[in-house]
Amino acid sequence: MPFTIATWNINSVRLRMPLVEQFLERYSPDVLCLQETKCADDQFPAAAFRKAGYEHMAIHGQKGYHGVATIARRPLKLVEKREFCGMGDSRHISVSVDAGAGRSVLLHNFYVPAGGDEPDPAINPKFRHKLDFLAEMHALRAEENGNSGTILVGDLNIAPLETDVWSHKQLLRVVSHTPVETEGLERLRREGGWVDLMREKIPPEEKIFTWWSYRAKDWALSDRGRRLDHIWSSPNLSPSLDRIEVLREARGWERPSDHVPVIAGFDFG
């Protein structure tokens, strides 16, 4: 049975709802995980999602900042809205979803702090916050039990591999690709038992980008991207991974997010 999950930092869901509707009509994922929704729960455009056929929603938002939401065509059960670092930010939500063929999935949706511009926690509290947030994420494990498994998606704001950035050498002291971040994220992934599904289908030797800065005059020509968006799973789900799609073309849509959607397709037949 096919089952698809998409993750997308939408950078204001109300502003970009026309793009979301376009995406849902064209790609029809079973579950869509959004980050940086930037609206309180009572302002979330739930009616538009229902009209698009997505009746089931789990929302963790706040006014003007951050925010995550998981929307689905099949029933969801809210598991947790976890607060990290005692900051009161809306950066995580987890749900349980029936993936079909007797499979149950615990799905984590994350928006990790960006970390500011200076990669020094002693002088940059935003970077300190990011490192503390990652440290707390170590408590999450890729739980699996028979036909149940775990998937973690979201904007993790770190490009861990050399091929996850346009220039490894030039970005070594740029937040999102510094060694303390990349090594920390990979250690978190390994120790938690997670599988990097994007790199299961796209070899580590190949470049993958999911984000291109608004600052570039011609993002496509310069192509100075980074892979900040990720999809991980417990080991028992990875053999069922059928495809990964990075929708690069979405960066060129009208009034786009600086991130593009990533889709993971599974075959649980």
Residue 101 pLDDT: 82
Summarised one tens digit per residue, pLDDT across range 90-146 is 999 999 999 988 889 999 999 999 999 999 999 999 999 999 999 999 999 999 998
> CA 202 → CA 117, 242, 243, distances in Å?
29, 12, 10
pLDDT cut 90: percent of the chain above it: 96
Alpha carbon distance 137, 128 (integer Å): 14
Summarised one tens digit per residue, pLDDT across range 54-64 is 999 999 999 99
Average pLDDT, the chain: 97
- Which pTM does this prediction carry? 0.97
- Across 50-102, the runs of DSSP E, i.e. the strands, are 56-62, 65-72, 76-80, 92-100
Summarised one tens digit per residue, pLDDT across range 175-214 is 999 999 999 999 999 999 999 999 999 999 999 999 999 9
Q: Locate 119 and state its tokens.
A: 């990669």
